[in-house]
A and B are shown apart, each in its own frame.
Chain A
Amino acid sequence: MAQHAAHKNRTLIAAIGDEDTVTGLLLAGIGDVNAQQQANFLVVEAKTTQEQIEDTFLAFTKRPDVAIVLINQHIAESIRGILDEYDAAFPTVLEIPSKDHPYDPEKDSVLKRVQLLFGD
């Protein structure tokens, strides 16, 4: 219970995605820029490096006000090592489909963990 109470200040939904995904999520109202001018979203373009994605993901997971991190599944693939190691309850990381890359259950880390239990 105390563990959940510690996460009460986590209110933001952060996003790492391609232009369409981030535009849609901003339209839905998740966009936020705090007093330190830190945005809670990253648009991944062709010129965005893997290092930038990793740094942003780690920054989002360390922020005390982020509750959910949404990341496009094809972008998550590029930082799979970090994602597989990440097992904290909050912020919750969710892999979502993008316009050009539909959701692939084979790559879903949640389903992978359940498969491990069944020994598949």
Chain B
Amino acid sequence: MDAHGEACQEADSSLLALLDCLAEYQGARASSGALLRQGFFDLAVARRSAGYRWISPGRHHGNARCTASVAIDGHSGDIRLVRSGSGHAPDTAARVADDCDQGVRRRRHQHASDNEGSEGAASQLPPEESECAPADPDDPLLWFGVLVPPALRDAQGRFRAALDQLVRLAQLKAQLAQRRQQAQRAIEAARA
């Protein structure tokens, strides 16, 4: 193969790599957009139950530090999301809430059983089953109070997931720029 053929092949492969990256970028765009849309909906539901003024950026503490930040790899320039504190993942938070509900149900059921005369059942229940995990003091959800609407908790989960996707988008944007430059150089070389 001559030099021109090789340059054309190089240009083709660069363009294919660019298009692959573009497809990934658009996929991440779609998923982040869907998560944000669901987050906005959950936020609206939470506002309906807690009040419009209550759920606003004004609740942010003046001295609050971020719990979600990014780390840039010094070697490759890769960006990744870092969560600080002991914040629960959204699914963990939901599971903890479910466990709490179940604990209440168990106690209620147990109370009913006691009334029926089955004494001593309380001692059979392991203590950890009726305990909830302690709340993370840095959790932004606590700015809105201790008993927040479940929809606000859902909204937080959606926005956290969306943030993961947005950081991935930032990463893909950098890759796209790099591949676009490579493709441009390869095309110019093929034309020369």
* Interface of A toward B, CB cutoff 8 Å: 1, 3-5, 7-8, 10-13, 19-33, 37, 39-41, 43, 67-68, 70, 89-90, 92, 94, 96-99, 102-103, 105, 110-111, 113-114, 117
Contacts and interface: CB of A to CB of B under 8 A. Distances in A.
A117 B183 contact: yes
Q: Is the interface of A mostly helix, strand, loop or mixed?
A: mixed
Nearest to A43: B57
Given A25-B159, A29-B160, A94-B169, A13 B68 contact: yes
Interface in B121-146: 140-141
Interface of B: 18, 22, 25-26, 29, 32-33, 36-37, 39-40, 43-44, 55-57, 59-77, 79, 82-83, 87, 140-141, 152, 155-156, 158-160, 162-163, 166-167, 169-170, 173-174, 176-177, 180, 183-184, 187
B174 A29 contact: no
A40 B39 CA distance: 21
A68 B183 CA distance: 25
Given A31-B66, A94-B166, A114 B176 contact: yes
B53 to A, nearest CB: 11
A117 B180 contact: yes
Given A19-B56, A40-B66, A105-B26, 16 more contacts: A8-B72, A10-B72, A12-B66, A12-B69, A19-B57, A22-B57, A24-B155, A27-B152, A31-B60, A37-B62, A43-B57, A89-B77, A96-B36, A97-B36, A111-B22, A114-B180
Given A13-B68, A110-B173, A24 B36 contact: yes
Most buried by B among A8, A24, A89: A24
Given A4-B75, A24-B39, A102 B66 contact: no
Closest A-B pairs by Cβ, 7 of them: A29-B67, A29-B68, A32-B66, A4-B77, A24-B159, A28-B159, A5-B74
